[in-house]
Amino acid sequence: MDVKVLNTSANEQKLWKQLARLKEISPSLANCVDLERIKRVATDIHFYAENNSDFESQKEGGRGDVYRLAQRIPVVRAIGILNLFRLVASEENLENLLPNDLILDALGGDGVLVRALKQLLPESSIPNILTSDLSEEMIRGAVEYRIPALWQPAQQLLLKDRSMDGVILAYGTHHIPRAQRLIVCKEGFRVLKYGGRFVLHDFEEGSPVARWFKEIVDRYSYTGHDVPHFTREEIASYLIEAEFRSVNVHYVYDPFIISGKSEPELRKNLSRYLMEMYGLYRLKEQMNEENALNFIYERAKEIFQYDYEKVGLDKDFGVSKIAVYEQSGKLKIYTFQLTV
């Protein structure tokens, strides 16, 4: 494939340059790009981005800088990330993942899923993953990690029809406006090979995590977080309308796992992680840093709790509230998150 930088719009030039880089890192992923879509996506990309700048840099009005700071240790979400790839794997078996499997991480940020897998799975089980995102800040971060990445909206992918073995939309799916969610599912269906798997992941509307976003993130982050999450029925309806033949909606265990040498250190590490992850810096305008971290921990401890039986799960499904455990001689603190 001959990749050239054309004398065209600034966005189009960026996409051609990214494609040239992608060809150097992963020719097989580069060959999945539909060259005829580049001009159209370059023209439309700011339509999708104009009301969704949360993950751009602080200079550009977002919280991408501090979000990336929190994501520097990707295995904090090791359990949830492995569960996502288990769902996208053939027969839901991680051992069936192969290096020549082509997987799109459509809301990939700075490549946290790729970076986590490199620490969690043997090289022989790590698929060829294309990280994409609507945020230029996030894609710049992925590039710094030398991860195959493209700046593209999930609503209008650059990829060819039937080019991917799997598609994952995770963690930021609720940022997609409701009017565009079906479009995203249809795009995922379009680029999937026959027999491929599409995983749509989000925090359930009305859940403790949704409450955390509403009461804490929306109130104390500079970007706010007034966006609706998904219901189980909503997810199923989108996938059915997008013409997926087999649709299953179920809960996924997805805790934060933070390590430390003592319980006070664990509490502080967890609070700092949550502050960076969600950009809760308005708290530091209202109180000193120590009090802000204490406030975050106490509210997290109050909010992150689940009644397994109430949602039809076995009581041994996982950790149901913030708790400290000793594992392999190390103390670890778990926050529980249930996702669909």
pTM of the model: 0.91
- Count, residues in the chain: 340
State how far the Cα of 339 lies from the Cα of 203, in Å rounded to an integer.
5
pLDDT tens, N- to C-terminus, the chain (340 residues)? 555 444 458 999 999 999 999 999 999 999 999 999 999 999 999 888 776 666 666 666 666 677 777 788 899 999 999 999 999 999 999 999 999 999 999 999 999 999 999 999 999 999 999 999 999 889 999 999 999 999 999 999 999 999 999 999 999 899 999 999 999 999 999 999 999 999 999 989 999 999 999 999 999 998 899 999 999 999 999 999 999 999 999 898 898 888 888 888 889 999 999 999 999 999 989 999 999 999 999 999 999 988 888 888 898 888 888 888 776 655 555 554 434 3
pLDDT of residue 330: 54
- List of residues 6+ apart from 167 with CB closer than 8 A: 88, 103, 104, 106, 188, 191, 192, 196, 197, 198, 199
- Amino acid identity of residue 81, one-letter, is I
State how far the Cα of 310 lies from the Cα of 229, in Å rounded to an integer.
20
pLDDT of residue 337: 44
Specify burial of residue 248 (Cβ count, 10 A radius: 0-12, 13-18, 19+).
exposed
pLDDT of residue 236: 94
